[in-house]
Amino acid sequence: MISRVSKRDFDIFASRDKCSCATHGVNYYKVLSLERHCNDVEIKRAYRRCAIRYNPAREKNGGAEAIFALAAEAYDVLSDPLRRAVYDQYGEEGLKNGVPRPEGFVKPYVYHGEPMRTFREFFANENPYGDLLNILTESQPLFDFPEGRGIKRKEEPLIKILFLTLSEVFFGGIKKIKIQRLVLAGDDKSTTVSMGKILTVPIKPGIPAGTKIVFSEKGDQGPTKIPADVIFVTEDRPHKTFRREGSDLRTTVDIFLREALTGTVLTLDTIDDRILRIPITSIVTPDYTKRLPGEGMPFPANPKRRGDLILGFNIEFPVYMPISSKNHIKRAFKVSRVKEY
């Protein structure tokens, strides 16, 4: 017979599968039995259930301590919007190794390794039933609570990362995003049901990374609370060719040494589906850059104006050159020096 904890152990450690973020590692959502679109309330509820059930001080069967620790780490990641966003895109490997982002390198996440500390911070003490016992022995009048006096408190804002391609940033437009939230139902509006809602997010051409787009009071409704604001924070998706620096675009192109010395014409596909033909007539040194004015991203304040496209170069040297070719190059440099004099 498989015991209750050992079976849960199997389910938890089986969660070290391939996450949808395309990397191997712990599936924190499965650890807490959550769906990937879960909200903050569901994360807290799931951790509370798991922490009480597998608290080593209460559960003595084998495996409880490991599950308790893994649940604490899962809660520590999923309850933090930035950690959750990095984990959703890059998985456990990216979260714990760190990832490069346009605004700077995201430092690796390291769990502090003290699941009981997470437990205490969540419940405010080591006894999850302590508050209930206090209420039973020292009950407080209803009107001692703000909600009892009809005062509603606004929930903390819900922050979501909104990833945009450079094409979306260039052209602008709108994105429709579906969220799940609790809404008041019934004639007396005293119960809540989960419903989907489509939010229309306006994207202005050239919108800077890190822009906050606020939807006021679109969070969960409740009879004793004011819904939280839903805030989308924009972030650039990596592009295969370009990276954005303000309103400028940068890219690095590969050229042969022959082209670096004698010139060439480069072809480059732009974000707005044009083909640029760029003549290179200068000697390309390792620190040489080519700036093309007006070929970057739109300025947010004036989308009719655009930043610059800046080309860097990676010079490929030949791995072999016959002696006859070397002699030709030597003679060419000799002629060049004679002409200079």
Q: What is the per-residue pLDDT across 253-266, written as a single tens digit (0 to 9) for each?
A: 999 999 999 999 99
pLDDT value for 23: 45
Predicted confidence (pLDDT) at residue 164 exceeds the cutoff of 50: yes
- Give CA separation, 226 vs 73, 76, 190, in Å: 30, 26, 14
What is the chain's Cα-based Rg? Answer: 29
- Give CA separation, 196 vs 38, 47, 181, 219, 330, in Å: 12, 24, 6, 11, 73
Of residues 108 and 170, the one with the higher pLDDT is 170
321 SS3 class: coil
**Band (21; pLDDT cuts 50, 70, 90):** very low
How far apart, in whole angstroms, are the C-alpha atoms of residue 330 and residue 322? 13
CA-based torsion, 122, 48, 228, 153: positive or negative: negative
Predicted confidence (pLDDT) at residue 165 exceeds the cutoff of 90: yes
Q: What is the per-residue pLDDT across 185-206, written as a single tens digit (0 to 9) for each?
A: 887 777 888 889 999 999 999 9
Six-digit token string for 151: 């005062």
How far apart, in whole angstroms, are the C-alpha atoms of residue 60 and residue 247? 59
How far apart, in whole angstroms, are the C-alpha atoms of residue 67 and residue 55? 9
The chain-wide mean pLDDT, for the chain, equals 84
pLDDT value for 19: 46
How far apart, in whole angstroms, are the C-alpha atoms of residue 279 and residue 257? 16
Do 204 and 303 meet the contact criterion of CB atoms below 8 Å apart?
Answer: yes
Six-digit token string for 245: 């620096």
Predicted confidence (pLDDT) at residue 283 exceeds the cutoff of 90: yes
Of 51-55, 67-71, 156-160, 233-237, where does mean pLDDT reach its minimum?
51-55
Q: For 19-40, b where at least 16 C-beta lie within 10 A, e where not — what string?
A: bebebebbbbbbbbbbeeebbb
Burial status of residue 43 (CB atoms within 10 A of its CB: 0-12, 13-18, 19 or more):
buried
Do 165 and 239 meet the contact criterion of CB atoms below 8 Å apart?
Answer: yes
Structural domains of the chain sorted by starting position, each given as residue range(s) with its CATH number in brackets: 28-129 (1.10.287.110), 153-236 (2.60.260.20), 243-323 (2.60.260.20)
**What amino acid occupies position 206?**
G
Of residues 250 and 98, the one with the higher pLDDT is 250
At what angle are helices 64-78 and 81-97 packed, to 10 degrees?
120
Pairing of strands 230-236, 158-164: parallel
Does the pTM surpass 0.75? The reply is no
**Band (131; pLDDT cuts 50, 70, 90):** low
How far apart, in whole angstroms, are the C-alpha atoms of residue 322 and residue 217? 73
258 SS3 class: helix
Predicted confidence (pLDDT) at residue 7 exceeds the cutoff of 70: no
How far apart, in whole angstroms, are the C-alpha atoms of residue 309 and residue 296? 5
